[in-house]
Amino acid sequence: MAFCTTCGARIQGKYCTQCGSAQAQSDGSASPLPKIAPGSMSSWSPRAKRNLVMILAAAGVGVLALGLLATYEARGGEAYQFASKFWGERLTDCGGSYYIRHNLGASATLYQYQSPSVWVRADEVSEADRLNGFQWVGWTGISTSSWRFKLGSSHVGGPPTFGPGWSDWAAGTPQDASFRMWKSKGQWHVDTRGSFGTSRIPTAVDCSWVK
């Protein structure tokens, strides 16, 4: 599946179905881009960005300002391209809904997402991080409009088995749908232990599991 690098909508043929912009052909591994308000902060100088944050912080919205700047800096850049590929290889489109499997030892959880989009948040690289060889540190995750799940078991050498019933739909995004991400010595990595330290490894889904 392919998504517009400008607004995040699905691409049909060579053109975006929402904004109409022409798109380069891809292998379909990219995930939807987050829909962020238009802006041109990525072209601002570091000094201009710092000044804006100081002004907003004085008005009591400094944390929000920092979050927005991090998002704009990540969008379309190397970090975002890596995150899009990571999620694109794991999210599976089965008839308009998107599915992903999280493995936890012998257990497996099958998630169904509505309107998923990928996000990337850059954190500040500290002096200690730089000395340890880190070039970028932050988080990546999935935002959804609604989601539900079913529990099952993993089997070595075979497909997992899941129970017959789904949970009720919930609004928003599952709590553990984000992972630590970093670049070290020229290589990108994702820590699949997740935001709560559990080793929930996300993998692609066979659509036959969801019937």
Q: What is the pLDDT of residue 59?
A: 47
Does 56 lie in the same domain as 9? no
Give the largest CA-CA distance in the chain.
58
Q: What is the DSSP letter of 117?
A: E
More confident residue, 118 or 155: 118
Structural domains in the chain (count): 3
Does 202 lie in the same domain as 138? yes
Q: pLDDT (tens digit, 9 = 90+) per residue, 67-76?
A: 444 444 446 6
Task: State the average pLDDT over residues 48-62.
Answer: 47
Residue 61: pLDDT above 80?
A: no
Q: Which residues contact 197 (CB under 8 A, 6 or more apart)?
A: none
Q: Residue 4 sits in which domain range?
A: 1-30
Does 92 lie in the same domain as 21? no
Residue 62: pLDDT above 50?
A: no
Q: What is the pLDDT of residue 190?
A: 92
Task: State the average pLDDT over residues 78-103.
Answer: 90
More confident residue, 14 or 185: 185
Q: How far apart are CA 96 and CA 10, in angstroms?
A: 11
Does 173 lie in the same domain as 132? yes
Task: State the average pLDDT over residues 198-207.
Answer: 80
Q: Are residues 99 and 91 in contact, defined by beta-carbon separation less than 8 angstroms?
A: yes
Does 127 lie in the same domain as 63? no
Q: Would 106 be classed as within a structural domain?
A: yes
Strands (E), the chain: 11-12, 15-16, 92-94, 97-104, 107-114, 117-123, 134-143, 146-155, 158-162, 170-171, 178-184, 187-191, 201-203
More confident residue, 7 or 64: 7
Q: pLDDT (tens digit, 9 = 90+) per residue, 135-168?
A: 999 999 889 999 999 988 876 666 788 888 889 9
Does 25 lie in the same domain as 43? no
pTM: 0.63
Q: Would 81 be classed as within a structural domain?
A: no
